[in-house]
Chains A and B, each alone.
Chain A
Amino acid sequence: MQQPNKLRPFFENLNFERDDNTMVINFGPQHPSAHGQLRLVLELQGEQVVKAYPDIGYLHRGIEKMAENMIYNEFLPTTDRLDYIASTSNNYAFALAVERLIGVEAPRRAQVIRTMLLELNRIISHLFFLATHALDVGAMSIFLYAFREREFAMDLMEDYCGARLTHSAVRIGGVPLDLPDGWLENLARFLDKLPSQIKLYEDLLTENRIWKMRLENVGIVTPEQALSWGCSGIMLRGSGIKYDIRKEEPYELYSELDFDIPVSDRCDSYGRYRLYMEEMKESIKILRQLIDMYYTTDSQLMAHAPRYISAPKEEIMTQNYALMQHFVLVTQGMRPPKGTVYAPTESPKGELGFLIRSEGEPYAYRLKCRAPSFFHTGILQDILPGTYIADVVTIIGSTNIVFGEVDR
């Protein structure tokens, strides 16, 4: 191995000067379309990619290691930093895993609020995808339009939990706060306006000649590849396999909600783009149903499980035993039973699941975050060869990878 120094930095002994016709280029990690910190080493024959090697780890923060050194409640805000575009889905996936471990179910109102936040986050994430993907491909105005709507959705999140990106709005056992006054009306207003905006995006893009030329038959993922690579979410449904965890293994309120799972058998970036648009419409449908559901719930927000979850604030301030429990849970942390849990959820990117091995200690013995983007990055090494250098950016964009959860 070459000894790296200041003048000869470390490049894994990449041989950039070649005798044959191929050229090796280094794409990223600081490239605007690398979606964060992706480094791709591409071997090119003319304009065609012969070999692609995705190199990740530039955003590694050791989140799985941190999970082993934090009590469960302490770790929850850290999950915000996984997929930071849709942090509620990470909070929820972690909370769900711990809830299954300790056998607690959130009260009805908390479930409604959580499902609302999850779907609102899906819209935020999909709008972000659309904006950045279109920008990567070259459609600048879509970026501005989509970010405007995303801003309204983020305002709603901010109204609810005070944060715009790192929400931590879902807690183990429920949600900490009820919806503020007028929030549902604002949400309804947002939902009324959004379909016309989605129509605007679709009018601009769906039949756009340039958009179609750039996306159609680009980034083909065959169903076999998608299954073998463990693809999930839209990467899987874009390849014609209809599997959505919300529908097939329902969690939260999804079994009671009426929504469709759009699926496309085009297997290309264009099909995936269409799915993102359709999913946003489905999310609007779900959110509308949830608004009606909210009014039928009673006011309990956190599950009652004194062994694992602190009592509500009023009880802590008035009852001695609740205060003692709270003190122990904050200073020592909850001790879930021994065992392993794997709880899959459908995040906007795909199957996000936490595998937690508990040894009955307040610290997780092992926490594995199954991040969808990790495998969607891996599949790049198989789908990029044979494509052209101009399409590489489109393909990275349409996999919708977020490096917070790839590197963890």
Chain B
Amino acid sequence: MRRYTPKDNVQKRAKYNDRYWVAPIIPRVDVSEDEHFASVSKIISESVELLDSYIELGQLVLEIKPEQNIDAITALKEECGYSVCSELSAIDYLSQDGEFEIFYQFLNMTERKRARIITRIKENQSIESIVPLYDMAKFAEREMYDMFGIYVNNHPYLKRIIMPDDWEGHPLRKTYPLEGDEFASWYEVDKIFGKEYRDIIGPENRDPARVDRYDTQRFARVGKEVPFGADPSLVDTTETPIEYSSAPLSDYNKGPHKTLDKRK
């Protein structure tokens, strides 16, 4: 029987897991430990509903509802002085919870503090754009859309940014394999030669470790070498035996053996 592989997460997994090992969790500090973060958390909780708030590795983490992201981020920017949004993107939790986690990473330059707002949306749910607040979202949200397929409402120009415009699939989803899917293997062949040449060219090799025994232009035919570029079907491909050096080698298995009798 073929080995079962999960289809909802095709990323590499650990081969061996200790049954009794429980992964430790990075300690979450209560927001009241830090004066600034406590006040930020209080201000945000006045404008939106806070699902969770804690300090992780010195950075404030606030979990909010996805519909309230604009309200929360406006309060964070206008009232708490978080003038820079350094990064925003998503994390794919579709296989576990059917949700994406979206994070916004902020920086307060006067207090030298960093905060992160996280929110979870369902697979087909979209989220409001923060372009009116931070211009960086013009690029970052496009990347999020490109990589995860999360639609961002009211984005001025929501379009693929890194992948080509006519690409299918969203590469950072856990269901997308590392070496690309069926579409990816034909994409360049179709582009360069045209669909009608698919039979002649074949799908693109997207696995750099693959050994192609009909490849005559690389060194993948050890023992079955043919002239460069020659058609392997026309060449005699009986295996050439590997020649070993005939220099005299001393065989240590012959002759008097060392006995361990004395080591009783």
Binding site for B on A (CB under 8 A): 1, 4-6, 10, 12, 56-57, 60, 62, 64-66, 68-70, 100-101, 225, 227-230, 232, 241, 243, 248-249, 332-333, 335, 337-342, 344, 351, 353, 355, 357, 359-363, 365-366, 368, 370, 374-375, 377-379, 381-382, 407-408
* Alpha-carbon distance between A108 and B235 when the two chains are bound, in angstroms: 62
Contact of B262 with A by CB under 8 A? no
- Are A353 and B87 in contact, with the CB atoms below 8 A? yes
**A374 touching B172 in the complex, CB below 8 Å, given contacts A57-B163, A338-B25, A368-B87:** no
- Are B14 and A332 in contact, with the CB atoms below 8 A? yes
Contact of B51 with A by CB under 8 A? no
* Alpha-carbon distance between A104 and B261 when the two chains are bound, in angstroms: 52
- Are A332 and B15 in contact, with the CB atoms below 8 A? yes
Instruction: Please name the residue on chain A nearest to B26 by beta carbon.
Output: A339
Instruction: Please name the residue on chain B nearest to A340 by beta carbon.
Output: B56
**A365 touching B178 in the complex, CB below 8 Å, given contacts A57-B164, A335-B23, A351-B86:** no
- Are A68 and B12 in contact, with the CB atoms below 8 A? yes
Contact of B166 with A by CB under 8 A? yes
Instruction: Please name the residue on chain A nearest to B112 by beta carbon.
Output: A248
Question: Interface stretch among B31-39, B68-76, B130-138, B209-217?
Answer: B130-138
Contact for B23 among A65, A337, A382, CB less than 8 A? A337
- Are A65 and B135 in contact, with the CB atoms below 8 A? no
- Are A5 and B57 in contact, with the CB atoms below 8 A? no
Note all chain A residues with C-beta closer than 8 A to B147.
64
Contact of B222 with A by CB under 8 A? no
Give me the 7 closest cross-chain CB pairs, A-B, nearest first.
A360-B23, A339-B26, A378-B139, A230-B136, A57-B162, A228-B135, A337-B24
Note all chain B residues with C-beta closer than 8 A to A12.
165
Give the distance to chain A from B193, nearest Cβ to Cβ, in Å. 8
For chain B residues 161-184, which have a beta carbon within 8 Å of chain A?
161-166, 171-172, 176, 178
Binding site for A on B (CB under 8 A): 11-16, 21, 23-26, 56-57, 59, 61, 83-87, 89, 91-92, 103, 105, 107, 109, 112, 114, 116, 134-136, 138-140, 143, 147, 160-166, 171-172, 176, 178, 191, 194
21 examples of A-B residue contacts, CB within 8 angstroms: A4-B166, A57-B161, A68-B12, A225-B135, A227-B84, A228-B135, A229-B136, A332-B16, A337-B25, A337-B26, A338-B24, A340-B61, A344-B107, A357-B91, A363-B11, A363-B12, A363-B13, A363-B14, A368-B89, A375-B140, A378-B135
* Alpha-carbon distance between A10 and B136 when the two chains are bound, in angstroms: 27
Give the distance to chain B from A32, nearest Cβ to Cβ, in Å. 23
**A60 touching B25 in the complex, CB below 8 Å, given contacts A351-B86, A363-B14, A365-B91:** no
Note all chain B residues with C-beta closer than 8 A to A229.
134-136
- Are B24 and A375 in contact, with the CB atoms below 8 A? no
* Alpha-carbon distance between A20 and B45 when the two chains are bound, in angstroms: 53
Note all chain A residues with C-beta closer than 8 A to B16.
332
Note all chain A residues with C-beta closer than 8 A to B103.
340, 355
**A341 touching B57 in the complex, CB below 8 Å, given contacts A68-B12, A366-B92:** yes
Give the distance to chain A from B196, nearest Cβ to Cβ, in Å. 11
Contact for A366 among B91, B136, B161, CB less than 8 A? B91
- Are B84 and A56 in contact, with the CB atoms below 8 A? no
* Alpha-carbon distance between A70 and B84 when the two chains are bound, in angstroms: 31
Note all chain A residues with C-beta closer than 8 A to B61.
340
In addition to A340-B116, A360-B23, A361-B14, 7 A-B residue pairs with Cβ atoms within 8 Å of each other are A4-B166, A10-B165, A243-B109, A332-B15, A340-B57, A368-B89, A408-B162
- Are A338 and B23 in contact, with the CB atoms below 8 A? yes
Which of A338, A370, A378 gathers the greatest number of chain B CB atoms within 10 Å?
A: A378
Give the distance to chain B from A247, nearest Cβ to Cβ, in Å. 10
* Alpha-carbon distance between A377 and B162 when the two chains are bound, in angstroms: 13
* Alpha-carbon distance between A359 and B26 when the two chains are bound, in angstroms: 11
Note all chain B residues with C-beta closer than 8 A to A377.
139
Which of A227, A243, A408 gathers the greatest number of chain B CB atoms within 10 Å?
A: A227
* Alpha-carbon distance between A100 and B16 when the two chains are bound, in angstroms: 25
- Are A228 and B134 in contact, with the CB atoms below 8 A? yes
Note all chain A residues with C-beta closer than 8 A to B112.
248-249
Give the distance to chain A from B22, nearest Cβ to Cβ, in Å. 8
- Are B85 and A230 in contact, with the CB atoms below 8 A? yes
Note all chain B residues with C-beta closer than 8 A to A382.
135
Give the distance to chain A from B232, nearest Cβ to Cβ, in Å. 29
Instruction: Please name the residue on chain B nearest to A100 by beta carbon.
Output: B57
Note all chain B residues with C-beta closer than 8 A to A5.
194
- Are B171 and A65 in contact, with the CB atoms below 8 A? yes
* Alpha-carbon distance between A230 and B131 when the two chains are bound, in angstroms: 12
Instruction: Please name the residue on chain B nearest to A335 by beta carbon.
Output: B23
**A230 touching B165 in the complex, CB below 8 Å, given contacts A5-B194, A65-B171, A101-B26:** no
